[in-house]
Amino acid sequence: MQHSLSLFSNPSAASPTGDLQPGEQDIMLPKHYRSKATESSSELPATSRFNEIGIQQLSSHVYSQVFPRKSTNPPKHLVDLSKTHLERHQLLGKNQETSPPIAFNLPTLQGSTLDEHFYKLGRDASEPHLTQARHYAGVDLPRPPKQWVKRSGWTKYFTDGTSRAIDAPQEAMLTFDTEVMWKESPFAVIACAASETAWYAWLSPWLLGESETERHLVPLGDPAQARIIVGHNIGYDRARIAEEYNIHQTRNFFLDTMSLHVAVNGMCSRQRPTWMKHKKNRDMRDKMTSESNSIELAALLENRMLSEEEEELWVGRSSVNSLRDVAKFHCNVTIDKSQRDHFGELDKESIRGKLDELLDYCAADVAITHRVYKKVFLNFLDVCPHPVSFGALRHLSSVILPVDKSWKTYIERAEETYLRLTNDVERRLAELACRALDIKDKAEEYLGDHWLRQLDWSGQA
């Protein structure tokens, strides 16, 4: 099981009794859903409503709130058609269980229709981030620095080549990436960010030998500032941001280019093996074509593999989710991720020796992530134009899992259970394999078994 940071709130910031602190309700409850306590169903007048064929619908009290406009009766020919279909299947007039009318007060509808209501709620949940995200999709990042300053914390690099130390990048729009020595610690050792006007680099004090502990989080600035933070699999990087561990929710909006790609050109798990097969065929075709000067061979390979791909037309319209594959799909850019292995193979001193190279690598990931964002975000707005789709991204990417001191014990128990069940499965499979091997010379036995007879026994002597 992968080891990673979890997002948790500061226990000292919560009430010792578990009650809400003054002002917390305003933070937790969106304004459209603030309302006085509703009366119980028995205290409100309501009658049951049934349609023309006897199906129970919303009670009169709820219906008038959800549909404030005056209702119209359905056309008679459509009612007759419905009855005909039900009679054909012997369903018309069948007894149905009816429920007492349910009545409660809803928050005021924002608009005259449900469509208008949810559109306004979506806009309210999306702004000002949607406007920022649209603007940022048209921005080109400046060139990354040619030289890096080996200084712990954040350093801001200006376009004129100068730099200075800062507490945090006070930007409204950033593309962000972190690097982790994952065998040593789940905490970041390097982070890079870029905005429309500048580049930023963060170095862990532990990496530079200024701290005995590796437990350093990356600060991003005032949590009350509305901010767009773009990254690929940004949830991984979010777990290393200091402000995200505050009990009060930040106004950071994490836009994940991987999630945007999945929404626009993603694939389900059952499609992945087929896509990988076609990718392998394409790679083999390109390799054989480049290594051979035979025009006939190239044409033969092209025709054969194209005929196979015609059966799966979706293959060319999708890719797996890694940054390398997503960048190739959307931007036709090939990137080298081999330097990523250094963070799992080298120790702290060796990482320091390659610091310029690894900062270049992290900055290159930021640059290519922004190029992907410029493509895939606009595609996302075309495929999912309703503001609720965009507004939901903020909440889906900003969840918090509160934990206490028992969290470590839970992780240890989960890991122990996982390993025990894995070992049990492997042992059971080995037993079944040995049992099958014992009857390899007894065809009448394995052919008479519903499971064993499906195996390929042709290779057994």
Q: Using one digit for the tens of pLDDT, what is the confidence trace for 275-285?
A: 888 888 777 77
C-alpha span between 121 and 277 (Å, rounded) = 44
Q: In one letter, which amino acid is 130? A: L
165 to 154, 196, 202, 395: CA distances (angstroms): 6, 19, 10, 32
Q: Using one digit for the tens of pLDDT, what is the confidence trace for 379-389?
A: 999 999 999 99
**Residue 410 binned pLDDT confidence (cut-offs 50, 70, 90):** very high
Q: Which pTM value belongs to this model?
A: 0.74
Q: Which of 88-97, 279-288, 369-378 is predicted most confidently? A: 369-378
Res 246 pLDDT > 90: no
**Residue 373 binned pLDDT confidence (cut-offs 50, 70, 90):** very high
Q: Using one digit for the tens of pLDDT, what is the confidence trace for 225-240?
A: 999 999 999 999 999 9
* DSSP string covering 221-290: S-TTS-EEEEETTHHHHHTTBGGGGSSSPP-EEEEEHHHHHHHHH---TTTHHHHHHHHHHHHHHHHHHH
Model pLDDT, residue 293: 63
Res 8 pLDDT > 90: no
C-alpha span between 355 and 190 (Å, rounded) = 9
Per-residue pLDDT averaged across 148-166, rounded? 96
Res 28 pLDDT > 60: no
Res 361 pLDDT > 80: yes
Helices (H), 89-203: 114-126, 129-136
C-alpha span between 161 and 122 (Å, rounded) = 42
C-alpha span between 420 and 320 (Å, rounded) = 31
Q: Using one digit for the tens of pLDDT, what is the confidence trace for 137-148?
A: 999 999 999 999
Is the CB of residue 156 less than 8 Å from the CB of residue 200? yes
Is the CB of residue 229 less than 8 Å from the CB of residue 174? yes
Residue that has been written with the tokens 């619908």 in this structure: 57
Model pLDDT, residue 35: 40
What is the signed CA dihedral for 242, 247, 251, 254, rounded to 10 degrees? 60
Phi-psi domain of 23 (left: phi exceeds 0; alpha: psi -120 through 50; beta: other) = left
Kindly report the average pLDDT of the chain as a whole number. Answer: 84
Higher pLDDT, 21 or 65: 65
Residue 224 has a CB neighbour count (10 Å cut-off) of 10
Q: Using one digit for the tens of pLDDT, what is the confidence trace for 90-136?
A: 888 877 788 899 899 999 999 888 999 999 999 998 999 999 999 99
Res 458 pLDDT > 50: yes
Distance of CA 436 to the CA centre of its chain: 44
* Cβ-based burial of 317 (10 A; exposed 0-12, middle 13-18, buried ≥19): exposed
Residue 396 tokens, joined = 């889906």
Residue that has been written with the tokens 């049951």 in this structure: 48
Contacts of 155 (CB under 8 A, 6+ apart): 148, 149, 163, 164, 165, 166, 200, 201, 202, 203
Model pLDDT, residue 277: 83
C-alpha span between 241 and 220 (Å, rounded) = 7
Res 413 pLDDT > 70: yes
Is the CB of residue 251 less than 8 Å from the CB of residue 373? no
Residue 116 tokens, joined = 């208008």
What length is written for the chain? 461
Res 30 pLDDT > 50: no
C-alpha span between 207 and 349 (Å, rounded) = 8
Q: Using one digit for the tens of pLDDT, what is the confidence trace for 323-350?
A: 999 999 999 999 988 889 999 999 999 9
Residue among 130, 119, 213 nearest 173 (CA): 130
Model pLDDT, residue 88: 92
Model pLDDT, residue 402: 82
- In the chain, the percentage of residues whose pLDDT exceeds 70 is 84
Res 296 pLDDT > 70: no
**HSE-CB of 385 using CA atoms within 13 angstroms:** 1
- In the chain, the percentage of residues whose pLDDT exceeds 90 is 57
C-alpha span between 244 and 237 (Å, rounded) = 11
Q: Using one digit for the tens of pLDDT, what is the confidence trace for 186-222?
A: 999 999 999 999 999 999 999 999 999 999 999 999 9
Model pLDDT, residue 20: 34
Residue among 337, 318, 353 nearest 150 (CA): 353
Model pLDDT, residue 300: 56
* DSSP string covering 293-333: --HHHHHHHHHHHHHHHHT-GGGGG---SSHHHHHHHHH--
